[in-house]
Amino acid sequence: MPDITPPPASGPSDEDLAARLAHARHPRSNHYDARWVVANQMGPNALWLLEWLAPALGLDALRPGARVLDLGCGRAMTSVFLAREYDAQVTAADLWIAPDDNARRIAEAGFADRVLPVRAEAHDLPFAEAGFDAIVSIDAYQYFGTDDLYLPTLTRLLKPGGRIGVVVPALREELAGDEPPEHLERWWEPDWWCFHSAGWWRRHWSRGGAVEVEAADWQPDGWRDWLLWCEVIAEESPEQWHRESAAKVAEALRADGGRTLGFVRLVGRRT
């Protein structure tokens, strides 16, 4: 299969980029070509976030051959990661990236037999009930999962006892009022109102009765990883829009310094 580990450096810039993104807490992610990850990103470093999620999700949910729905998979990097690292059978579902585009990327990575790309909207998922051992969503669930009625509908796709695990951009604490923090006001985007704290997400998932919440925690120093990633994307992304967006988020993260913005992971078991 095509090598998606860092190849012998073709130049100092590739070598420097790989070194800059080498992360002690995410050793599995270090084995992926840094240029490939940069080129296929659609937000925060999805491989880092998935590697943080996986231990909380548990090896039972990610055992070899497990059927996993990767919901909001973007350009399918996380789907390739799940297939490669855990030998899972992955359904890579996304609304915005065409299945043919993801199919090409998945085949080039050597996992066409284990990752199936599909186009799907989060509220209209064309899958049978109880068909998945696990559902994973990285930097996507916040856009549709704040609806009180969404989780019970989604978890019907899980086998009894199956697990759902998500990582979302989040707030350290819920905001006190209806205005963004003063120190972030100049950068605040309307869609950041879907960011919530770990406590908010735990209550949101617990009260519906669809899952038993097994984890809802804040990532220590997650904002530093986010800032590093944004700085890299602002310099290295081949897409101008991504460079500009990352530069703006980096400014906000520097101004915030970890007071407000970061990441939360959630894991629930279908009851």
CA distance 177 to 136: 32
Query: What pLDDT is attached to residue 13?
Result: 82
pTM over 0.85: yes
Q: Average of pLDDT values for 38-48?
A: 97
> Which DSSP string do the residues of 209-248 spell out, in sequence order?
SSEEEEEEEE-TTHHHHHHHHHHHHHHH-SSHHHHHHHHH
Note the pLDDT tens digit of each residue in 83-133: 999 999 999 999 999 999 999 999 999 999 999 999 999 999 999 999 999
Q: How confident is the model at residue 4 (pLDDT cuts 50, 70, 90)?
A: low
Q: Average of pLDDT values for 250-256?
A: 98
* Least-confidence region, from 6-15, 130-139, 149-158, 250-259: 6-15
Query: What pLDDT is attached to residue 8?
Result: 39
Query: What pLDDT is attached to residue 60?
Result: 81
CA distance 49 to 141: 13
12-120+127-171+190-270: in CATH 3.30.70.1070: no
The sign of the CA dihedral 165, 166, 167, 171 is negative
Q: Residue 70 pLDDT > 70, yes or no?
A: yes
Query: What pLDDT is attached to residue 196?
Result: 98
CA distance 183 to 235: 25
Q: Average of pLDDT values for 247-266?
A: 98
Q: Residue 10 pLDDT > 50, yes or no?
A: no
CA distance 270 to 223: 30
Query: What pLDDT is attached to residue 1?
Result: 45
Note the pLDDT tens digit of each residue in 121-171: 999 999 999 999 999 999 999 999 999 999 999 999 999 999 999 999 999
Q: Residue 2 pLDDT > 50, yes or no?
A: no
Note the pLDDT tens digit of each residue in 194-230: 999 999 999 999 998 999 999 999 999 999 999 999 9
Looking at the chain, list the stretches that DSSP marks H as alpha helix, in order from N- to C-terminal side: 12-21, 34-40, 46-57, 77-86, 99-109, 150-154, 198-206, 222-236, 240-256
Query: What pLDDT is attached to residue 203?
Result: 98
